[in-house]
Amino acid sequence: MTERDPFEEKLEELVAGLERLNVDTKVKAPKQEQELQHLLEEARSMIDDLRDQRRRREDRELLERLAAEIKDSTATAHDRLTASEARLEHVEGGGPGRYAFPVNPEIQAEAVWLKAQLSGPPTDHDTPRFFKDADVQEVPDGLEVLSRAIFEAAPSYMQSADKEQ
């Protein structure tokens, strides 16, 4: 039996190691690439989310500024309208319950007098009877009606005895 050359053994070990490395490289490299791709996608997604959040925050701030400005503008318009109406009331003598044209109190008094002279008696239509003002009638129950009927039908001496008791 021939002895193995230690150098040869070393070479064979080296070849076996290279083969393992070769196998490992072939098996592990796609996995690593996949992981790398996944990590890259996550990182990009996080960047997108970050940008989206920043944009939303900016939009919200913009809306808040816009709402505040509209509120200020409305308040200003309201104040100006109030001031304008106050001036108009001062100039025209108008106000709540007043009309665009002046009413002659003499004519109003004449209207009331003439109306009173020419009107007839009040009719039923003039004074409606509301539900809320109507009397509510109490209806006696059956036992009360029966007892009253018996009492009224009873002979007078029984009623007087009842009263004495």
Partner 1 sequence: MFRQLARLFLTPPTPSSAQVHQAVEDVLALHPMQISRFLEEVWEGRSASLLTPAGLEIPPTVWPLTNERTSGIRDRVIAAGNPYPPAVWDHLIYAYMVENTRIYEVFRRVLEEFAYGERLGVASPAGQAWLRTTEALFYRDSPPLQIYAMASWIRPDIRAVRRNAYHRMFGLDLNHGTDDNRPYPYPRTAAANTDFSRTFEDVLREVWRAIENISNQSGPNATDVATIANLARALYDMLRVRRQEYGNLARDELLHVSTMAWLHLTVSYDTAIVRDLKAEATSPAERLQKIGERVGLPAHSRSSSYFSLAEHMSLLLRELELGTFNTDLGAPGLFSGGPFQAAIQETITHWSIATGRDVKARPVSVAPPQPVPVRPTPRPAMRASAATNGYAQASRETLGV
* Residue 111 interacting with partner 1 (CB under 8 A): yes
Query: Binding to partner 1 by residue 88, rule CB under 8 A?
Result: yes
Please tell me the distance from the alpha carbon of residue 109 to that of residue 115, in angstroms, as a whole number.
10
Given the complex with partner 1, which of 91 and 143 has the nearer CB atom? Answer: 91
Considering only residues 6, 30, 102, 128, which one is a binding residue for partner 1 as defined by CB under 8 A?
A: 102
Please identify, using beta-carbon distances, which residue of 7 and 101 lies nearer to partner 1. Answer: 101
- Quote the CA–CA distance of 139 and 131 in Å, as a whole number: 18
Among 13, 110, 144, 162, binds partner 1 (CB under 8 A): 110
Residue 136 Cβ, how far from partner 1 at the closest point, in Å?
Answer: 20
Q: Which has the closest alpha carbon to 6: 14, 105, 164?
A: 14
**Which positions ≥6 away from 94 have C-beta within 8 Å?**
88, 100
Residue with tokens 């050359």: 5
Q: How far apart are CA 15 and CA 26, in angstroms?
A: 16
Nearest to partner 1 of 1, 100 (CB atom)? 100
Minimum distance from CB of 134 to partner 1 (Å)? 14
Residue 32 Cα to chain centre, angstroms: 54
Residues that bind partner 1 (CB under 8 A): 85, 88-89, 92, 94, 98-104, 107-108, 110-112, 114-115, 117-125, 127
